[in-house]
Amino acid sequence: MTIKKLLWPVVCVVCLIFLFSIYTTGQKKKQTPVQGNTRTITDMKGRTFEVADPLERIALLGGPTGQIAFILGVEDQLCAVTKTLKMSELVKTFFPEISDLPGPRSTSGSINIEELIKSDPDIAIAGDIDGGIVLEKTRIPVAFLEDSMGEGMKDIKKEVRFYGYVFNTPDRAERYVAYLERFTALVLERTLDIPEHQRKKVFQGYNPSHLVTLGGDTFMQERIEIAGCLNAAESVTTIGQRTGLHSGLGEVSMEQVLAWNPDILVINYGTPDDVYADPQWQQIRAVTNRQVYPQPAGVFIFNRPTAESAAVFPLWLAGIAYPEKFSDVCIPCLVKEFYKEVFDFDLTDFQVTQVLDGTYETRIMKGARH
């Protein structure tokens, strides 16, 4: 009998042991039954499943919605977040522990599964794409969100209340809703009677070209209308995925912007002075009248349907569009109160200014737009 014949059975046994170890490892990754006390929850897609009670370790995989943990005061329960939330200057200031949390999710559909599993969450909260990946590759319970760029104020309130339901913090959720409704009512009270022909036309001009925008089918339409203004890009539909752009953003031509001739231009790249000096923008009414403004940004950027921007953006826009109607309102004071009472972030006056002048957008994104 040759040495090869003697070794062959041994090789076969070793291979079988190796393959079995791979199989069982995969099974162990998938077998994570809930231990101890449990409760049943229903997510925003109507899916019902059991989770640990209480929830102690939560992975938030939605960029715009990650801030809701701070609205509800449950940031100590976070075990994994998005990389973008970890970049937030405000979060790092008021919750420095964010730097030590893993950030397994970078952009939509890009999740480091090994890092997520290692964070050992009781539950992951995510949108369709990210949640689908987690369900497919792990047995971590997933609560699905409605994560459309078309989310209006009703959707935001529904989302915050859903988080309050998951985290067992309904009172904090209602505190946010009360502020949102109070700010919205304040703005509407002062802008509803503005005749259509006197309403300011606003163009959201993003990216270095200032030609990327949010169309009339996005959340921005409602926010501009609440502020008593008109969305210059209302006739454009931008929901959907486009190469090189975040879902919901679309690019228009300079000719379109010239035809719209907006009264106000909101940018998220460069400075108003850069636009004022650019020859191709000289014919725009917003440039002629020096009405170019950086977009505000706080915990997250405001060209996403976030809870903070739902409250702050219409108030800010109405204030710059119709200053005479808000001459008796200290908008920075209201913004400061909002972050203190809703987020427990005690902002200085200078930090409030940085929220309203867009400083935090640059710090969050560090030159990158997702």
| Rounded mean pLDDT for each run of 10 residues along the chain, 370 residues in total | 46 43 39 70 92 92 87 96 91 95 81 94 92 92 85 92 94 98 98 96 97 94 98 90 75 97 97 96 97 96 94 98 98 98 98 95 56
Give the burial class of 62: count Cβ atoms within 10 A of its Cβ; 0-12 exposed, 13-18 middle, 19 or more buried.
buried
49 with 144: CB under 8 angstroms?
A: no
Whether 229 and 312 share a structural domain: yes
Query: 147 is in which domain, residue-wise?
Result: 38-170
Listed in sequence order, the DSSP H helices in 329-368 are 331-338, 349-356, 359-365
Whether 101 and 193 share a structural domain: no
Q: What is the pLDDT of residue 210?
A: 97
Examine residue 27 and state whether it is found in any structural domain, yes or no.
no
Q: What is the pLDDT of residue 149?
A: 80
- Spatial distance between the Cα atoms of 252 and 259, rounded to a whole number of angstroms: 11
- Sign (positive/negative) of CA torsion 338, 343, 349, 354? negative
Of the residues 143, 170, 197, which one is the last residue of a structural domain? 170
Of the residues 120, 136, 170, which one is the last residue of a structural domain? 170
Please list the residues that pair with 44 across neighbouring strands.
Answer: none
Task: Name the residue among 168, 145, 150 with its Cα closest to residue 62.
Answer: 145
Number of domain units in the chain: 2
Whether 217 and 350 share a structural domain: yes
Q: What is the pLDDT of residue 362?
A: 72
Query: Measured in whole angstroms, how far is the alpha carbon of residue 35 from the centre of its chain?
Result: 32
Single-letter amino acid, residue 15: C
Examine residue 119 and state whether it is found in any structural domain, yes or no.
yes
Whether 156 and 200 share a structural domain: no
Of the residues 148, 170, 192, which one is the last residue of a structural domain? 170
CA distances from residue 318 to 187, 223, 225, 264 in whole angstroms, order as listed: 7, 10, 10, 11
Whether 157 and 198 share a structural domain: no
For residue 37, give the DSSP letter: S
Angle, helices 219-226 vs 170-191, to 10°: value is 60
| CATH code at position 134 | 3.40.50.1980
